[in-house]
Amino acid sequence: MDIHSILGIIFVVVLTVLLVLYRKRLDVQKILGPLLYFAMWRTKLGLKQMEWGKTWLRKPVRILGYAGVVIGFLGMILVTAEVITASIALLTTPEAVPSLQPVLPIQAKGVFFVPFVYWIISIFIIAVVHEFAHGIVARAHDIPIKSSGFAFLGVLIPIVPAAFVEPDEKNLPKKPVGAQLSLFAAGAFANILTALVLVFLFAIPLIPTAVTKYTTIYDIGASSKELVQLSGLEITKIQPDSPAEKAGLLPGHIVTAFDGINVTDTDTFVQTITNRTPGETVELTANGTTYSIVLAPDPKEPGHGIMGVNFDVKTSPNPAALERYGAFGVQARLFFINLIIWIFTLSLGIGVFNLIPIGPIDGGRMLHLVATRWLPKRGHFLWKWTSVILLGLIVANLAAGWIG
């Protein structure tokens, strides 16, 4: 067990102790009895700042809120299509992998692992941005906020920390549909917008650098190349009866060269391993031994040659960077770069996930409002069964990751 998993376990233990000590202050909403629950600690944190939405930021907040509705419904369509497509692939394609995994700081089967420190900082930032957006948009439409606070989702024990803003639900239905939709979409839209802002500020390679060069304050790609160098590729998995298996390669081997080109020569190395065809013989150097491998056709792209291996990239500090910044300076910069990447990744992923039209989450509330307004007699039925079907598909994806 690595240090990140240990820190994750310590965090869960601390949350459990706090749950016991402050249980009288918590409002626990049981979802499946004591097995699955949501616990909230109500406060007044941030409520004063949310009033900006009612005063000097009312107009821009309202405009952004309506933009969030458009993005929200587009995201809802895309994420619903992705869940359905991924679920069909699980049934029809043996090598398909689940597209949905819980994001946790514990390395386990079926879990999207995030190192603990990055996970806790990212989740905190994402939750604050998400809930503050709900609050400030609510005030822009004169919807009272009753409370804010901290929360966590528990499966027997508390696992995932969260935050919340509690609008006046009695006042909400009196507002126009656009105002209600703005409130529901605000959190997910703010998370997606956060990810986009990070792309422009730190040149995350999601869009061409020719665009982001005018807004970048710190180019994390260029900095990464300066700080570290590729030192090897660790073989993590070998496909049965693949060319790599026949050649004698094993999981855990560290590849240091390909056709005589060292992996540290990144640009030349990448050019060397691309566009290979079936039947070609390549020389792979791993753990000091050179293996001759005859490439096989890729089942998905028959004209492309493959070895049948999965790699995990291994890096080491660049000697020039160590001389310039020192060991601590290099590690501090790498920590910052990785943190930005994780905040971007999780902001985008969690923001989009919240748009799935299921029950009480943001996307579900958006669909319920529109469906019941457009189809007064059938809208609730449509919303209910959409939620049930999508929830079933999500559970199936999670189960496939755990037992597959």
Residue 47 domain flag: yes
Q: What percent of the chain has pLDDT over 70?
A: 96
Same domain membership, residue 197 and residue 111: yes
> Is residue 119 within 8 Å of 107, Cβ to Cβ?
no
Among the candidates 330, 360, 387, a domain finishes at 330
Residue 335 domain flag: no
Query: What rounded mean pLDDT belongs to the chain?
Result: 88
Same domain membership, residue 54 and residue 203: yes
Q: CATH no. for residue 233?
A: 2.30.42.10
Among the candidates 299, 330, 361, a domain finishes at 330
Give me the DSSP letters along 167-221.
Answer: E-TTTGGGS-HHHHHHHHHHHHHHHHHHHHHHHHHHT-TTS-HHHHTTT-SS-HH
Same domain membership, residue 268 and residue 177: no
Q: Which residues are 257's β-sheet partners?
A: 262, 285
Among the candidates 303, 330, 357, a domain finishes at 330
Give the pLDDT confidence score for residue 141 in this predicted structure: 95
The owner of tokens 């997606």 is 192
Q: State pLDDT tens for residues 212-267.
A: 888 999 999 899 989 998 888 888 888 888 888 888 988 889 888 888 888 776 66
Give the pLDDT confidence score for residue 95 in this predicted structure: 67
Same domain membership, residue 283 and residue 137: no
Give the pTM: 0.84
Kindly state the average pLDDT of the residues 166-185.
93
Give the pLDDT confidence score for residue 267 in this predicted structure: 67
Q: Domain range for residue 106?
A: 3-217+340-403
Same domain membership, residue 313 and residue 198: no
Same domain membership, residue 271 and residue 368: no
> Is residue 98 within 8 Å of 398, Cβ to Cβ?
yes
Same domain membership, residue 90 and residue 207: yes
**Model confidence band, residue 159 (pLDDT cutoffs 50, 70, 90):** confident
What does the alpha-carbon distance between residue 115 and residue 2 come to, in Å, rounded to a whole number?
10
Give the pLDDT confidence score for residue 151 in this predicted structure: 84
Give the pLDDT confidence score for residue 404 in this predicted structure: 62
Give the pLDDT confidence score for residue 347 in this predicted structure: 97
Kindly state the average pLDDT of the residues 172-199.
95
| Count of structural domains within the chain | 2
Same domain membership, residue 170 and residue 58: yes
Same domain membership, residue 55 and residue 38: yes
Residue 391 domain flag: yes
Same domain membership, residue 157 and residue 258: no
**Model confidence band, residue 154 (pLDDT cutoffs 50, 70, 90):** confident
Give the pLDDT confidence score for residue 2 in this predicted structure: 67
In the predicted model, is pLDDT for residue 169 greater than 80?
Answer: yes
Same domain membership, residue 127 and residue 204: yes
Give the pLDDT confidence score for residue 288 in this predicted structure: 86
Q: What percent of the chain has pLDDT over 90?
A: 45
Same domain membership, residue 199 and residue 287: no
Residue 100 domain flag: yes
